[in-house]
Amino acid sequence: MININGNLLLESEAEISTENRGLHYGDAAFETLRYDHGKILFWEDHYFRLMATMRILRMEIPMSFTPEYLEEQLLRSVRANKLEGRPARLKILVSRKPGGYYHPRSKDIDLLIVASELSDSGYLLNKNEYMVDLFKDYYIAPGLLSTLKTTNKLVNVLGSIYADEQGLDNCLLMNTNKMVVEGLNGNLFLVFGNKVKTPPLSDGCLKGIMRSQLIEIISKLEGFELVEETVSPFELQKADEMFLTNVISGIIPVGRYRRKEFKKEFADILNTELNRKITA
């Protein structure tokens, strides 16, 4: 079942306009969320990020879009797809209503919510070798728009195709200053001894929900220092550990970057703390 503007429809009945602005111009924003342990994880953070994104994109936020209303619409989608008690992926997509060319006729929005089942409850570390390399065909321009979850993701799409062609599990994206900013589908963390490093938002990385959760957890761990600093490609092979993060997979340890193999010790510690937090 698909939720369109609060109406639950069969997927076969769901339609969007051929003038949909998200389709024509990428004039849309989205949130990908995880439903687990009978709740939407980190809902408040997702909600405020979505509202901030809509304001930056100059979308008209409906008066009905309270945290309670949107949460209930998400839970309705969970129930309609018979996913209660099971882990699920949820996606909210807001696009400006059809009409106009580059200049929209309206600032009002359409709401789309989809839900699908996930295989495992809780966050599990990937035990398989996970190989990454740099994607250097195209770069991210650092700035406020690059930190948002919008449907302008061509660099990520092309990087994913490149990774598949090269037999890689993921790629690391760089900005126009040739600094490493993130993975194709998640934020980047490096571990150097007791120092944990992640690129700053000013370098162009996504303002990830899991990123902020882990920064909070790491800051409370004794014996470890968290810094938000620019990451040079030359640093990658000097790190003891490398991992990517997003709200669906949690922590994704990288096993190999070129000839460098990484440990997973800190990722394991962090994953334990993360699961403790979501079940609290």
Q: Is 260's pLDDT higher than 90?
A: yes
Dist CA 195 CA 125 (whole Å): 21
Share of the chain above pLDDT 90, in %: 94
Q: Both tokens of residue 253?
A: 């340890």
Provide the terminal-to-terminal Cα distance of the chain, rounded to the nearest Å: 30
Q: How confident is the model at residue 11 (pLDDT cuts 50, 70, 90)?
A: confident
- Per the DSSP assignment, residues forming a β-bridge with 241 are 191
The string of pLDDT tens digits covering residues 190-238 is 999 999 999 999 999 999 999 999 999 999 999 999 999 999 999 999 9
Dihedrals phi, psi of 236, to nearest 5 degrees: -55, -45
**pLDDT at residue 12 in the model:** 85
The string of pLDDT tens digits covering residues 96-134 is 999 999 999 999 999 999 999 999 999 999 888 899 999
Instruction: Count the neighbouring beta carbons within 10 Å of the beta carbon of residue 166.
Output: 11
**pLDDT at residue 167 in the model:** 97
Q: Both tokens of residue 245?
A: 């993060």
Mean pLDDT, residues 150-168:
97
Among residues 132, 147, 156, which one has the least CA distance to residue 237?
Answer: 132
Q: How confident is the model at residue 154 (pLDDT cuts 50, 70, 90)?
A: very high
The string of pLDDT tens digits covering residues 12-50 is 888 888 899 999 999 999 999 999 999 999 999 999 999
Q: Model-level pTM greater than 0.85?
A: yes
Mean pLDDT, residues 63-79:
97
Ranges assigned E (strand) in 97-186: 109-117, 131-140, 170-175, 180-183
Dist CA 65 CA 53 (whole Å): 14
Contact criterion met (CB below 8 Å) for 5 and 110: yes
Contact criterion met (CB below 8 Å) for 188 and 205: yes
**Which residues make Cβ contacts (< 8 Å) with residue 73, sequence separation at least 6?**
3, 6, 111, 113
Radius of gyration of the chain (CA): 19
Residue reference for tokens 């609290």: 280
- Per the DSSP assignment, residues forming a β-bridge with 215 are none
Contact criterion met (CB below 8 Å) for 214 and 270: yes
Among residues 230, 134, 144, 140, which one has the least CA distance to residue 176?
Answer: 140
Q: Is 68's pLDDT higher than 90?
A: yes
Mean pLDDT, residues 92-99:
96
Q: Both tokens of residue 150?
A: 């919008």
Among residues 33, 3, 1, which one has the least CA distance to residue 110?
Answer: 3
Instruction: Count the neighbouring beta carbons within 10 Å of the beta carbon of residue 119.
Output: 7
Residue reference for tokens 């309270």: 66
Q: Both tokens of residue 207?
A: 């303002």
Q: DSSP letter for 211, please.
A: H
Dist CA 175 CA 140 (whole Å): 4
